[in-house]
Structures are given as structure tokens and as C-alpha cells.
Homo-oligomer: A and B are copies of this chain.
Amino acid sequence: MSAPVVAVVGGGQLARMMAPAATALGVHLRVLVESPTSSAAQVVVDAPVGAASDADAVAALTVGADVLTFEHEHVPFALLDRLAADGVPVHPGTHALVHAQDKIVMRRRLTELDAPCPRWTELAGPDDLTAFLADAGEAVVKTARGGYDGKGVRVVRSADEVADWFAAAADGGVPLLAEEKVPFTRELAVLVARRPSGEVRTWPVVESVQRNGVCAEVIAPAPDLDPALAARAVAVAVRIANGLDVAGVLAVELFEVDGDVVVNELAMRPHNSGHWTIDGAVTSQFEQHLRAVLDLPLGDTSARSTWTVMANVLGSALTDLTDALAAVTAADPAAKVQLYGKDVRPGRKLGHVNVSGDDLADVRRRADAAAALLRGESPA
């Protein structure tokens, strides 16, 4: 049997979690991993070692592949464009991917698409920021590229506070933008999948709970969300997916503010806000990403339970997580644990837990208790 071959750049947990979906669909996964012990390398048979920035390694990855896709956005675009010109399907293509890589390009395009954005401006220099602050009082300054999980972001009241970034930018470094600090009540996310041939499916809108700038917990669906606002959030996400010609999974991170939503960030790949779908939805984001980039019909995205809560395991006081897995199951046999096969480091994403049920308070408590056990903390 000739299996479709999906080539993936990046060997972290996102590529790792594509493996079970590929197994089910009879898809051959080929993953370019950072090292032979990378999270994905442990569970993917065809896992050549190489850097995402290594043109030869990426080109070799595509030999015989039906499609090239990504678990992160840090890939040289010139190479991708060359491969695409040579007839390799690259999904999402660089014309879409650039919006997940460069926040200035993203804001420009979302503004064109009339997608709700915070007030924002490009910063050619400190004077632009000073002018923006004169009006806004406070600003979120971001590097256009390279930021994630709270890195590359500073909340400032004076241009002096990012003098180092301006110096770097003036020196040919990464350009900056300023955004209004949105007085949001909470963070939401909409996960969309889109095929090259245009089919689009969305999962229920979720609430993303951040701690220290990192996603700690995801609640699906977002509790007490006005149905009209949920519909608006989904419509915004679909407009972006179509407008950017995304192929694959797109995560649209949103702020809820004053009864409306504002787009915060985009990720053009399976995303932490969608890990709940592994156990909580008919089709997981990982299966759907494979389907989408292969231009196969998309699966049903319905929730399988009233509530599913995903809790991240960020760092751990333990070294042997298997013992903790045993403790989790002994305490809560229905908690679904995923471990990423990583060495423990402070704050590192080591795994997650999904818990489903009908009583949200109970489901949250259980998910948090399981994650606490995996972090080596006594349950509250």
C-alpha cells in the first residue's frame, strides 16, 4: 500500500502529536528533527536530523513527499518558495505563513481584511512610539518576528524602555510595532482548518487562561460566551483563514473586550489552544492538519463532551513523570495524559492533561489537580 507522505519541519511535541493521527490515517510522516532525541524523533520512524534553516535538509525532506508542512514558523521562505516553484506543495504557503511569522505583515493584512485589531502602528523609531504613547498612555511593543510565549513583548509607558530594541532594529535587526494595551476580560481562541480546495471547518471557541504570559489552561467551549459573539469570533477566524489562503490548521488568538473580540496572535499550525481536541472533539487538530495539508476532506469538529479542560504541565519538580502518571490515574482514572518525552526543565512544556465532563467546576479542578501531580506538587 502506498501511503501519502507528509513532510514536517520541526521535531517538537506538535509534530510528535501528529504521529498517532498519521498512524490512524495510514499516512507516512517524515519529520525534520533538531536532534535524534527530539520529542517527535522518539515516535516517528522517518525522522532525519537537521536544522529548519538548512536548505539542503529541508529540500531532502521533500523528496517523494506529497506535501511539506510545519510545526513552527521559523523556516527560510526563499527556500520554501523555490521548492513550491519546483512543484512541491507547501502548506501553508509562504504567502500565508508570513502572517504568522511577521506581526507587522499580519497587522497590515488583518487591517485590510477588516478583522478587528487593537489600535497599532509600525515603529520606524522611538519618536513613533512616543507619539503613540502620547495618545495611548501605555503600549505593548512587540518585535515583528521571533517572539513567542511572552518573549519579544514588552508593556511600556516610555520609549526608553525599549531603547535596546530600537538600537537593534536600527542596526538591521527586527522591526518593531506598538499595539494598544487592550483592556480585555479574557482570552479566547478559534481553531480553523482549511484545505487548499477551500473547505473550512472550525472547532468550538475556547477560553485560554494564561499564567506568566504562557497558556496554562484551555476551557472548551469558552464558558458563558454570548452565542452572537462566538459566531462573530468564528466568522473573524474564517475570514482570516480564507483571506490569508491558509492551508492547514490556523489558531486565531483573540481578546474578549467590551462585548467584541480583537485579534491578538495567529499561529499557522496545530496550537496549544487545540490540544483539548485530542480527547474532546470528534477530529483532533493533528488529524485535521494532516487532512488539510493533503487536501483530504476534513473531519467533524464537534465536541464530544459538554466540557473539556486542557491543563499544561509547565516544568516539574519530578524527573520521572511515569510515576506521576501512575499517581494521576490512581486519583482520576478518566484524566487523559499526554507526555512529550522531554527532559524536565523549569517552565518547559512537558505534557498536558485533558479532562471531560458535564460539570465545569469539577472538570477544571480535576484537570488542574492532574497537572499539579505531574508538576510534582501536592494537589490543592
Contacts and interface: CB of A to CB of B under 8 A. Distances in A.
Contacts of A322: 3-4, 25-26, 296
A55 B73 CA distance: 48
A163 interface: no
Contacts of A25: 322, 325, 337, 339
Interface residues of A, number: 51
Max count, chain B CB within 10 A of own CB: residue among A4, A28, A336, A343:
A336
A131 B322 CA distance: 57
Interface in A295-322: 296-300, 302, 304-305, 319-322
A3 B334 contact: no
B43 A23 contact: yes
Contacts of A23: 16-17, 19-20, 43
A80 to B, nearest CB: 25
Contact of A333 (B16, B47, B297, B320): B297
19 contacts: A1-B319, A1-B321, A1-B342, A2-B320, A4-B322, A19-B19, A19-B23, A23-B43, A24-B336, A24-B338, A24-B339, A26-B322, A26-B341, A28-B42, A42-B45, A43-B45, A299-B329, A299-B334, A300-B333
Given A3-B341, A282-B334, A300-B333, 20 more contacts: A1-B319, A1-B320, A1-B343, A1-B344, A19-B19, A23-B43, A24-B339, A25-B337, A25-B339, A26-B340, A41-B45, A45-B45, A45-B47, A297-B329, A297-B330, A297-B333, A298-B329, A299-B329, A302-B334, A304-B305
Interface of A: 1-4, 16-17, 19-20, 22-26, 28, 41-45, 47, 282-283, 291, 296-300, 302, 304-305, 319-322, 325-326, 329-330, 333-334, 336-344, 351
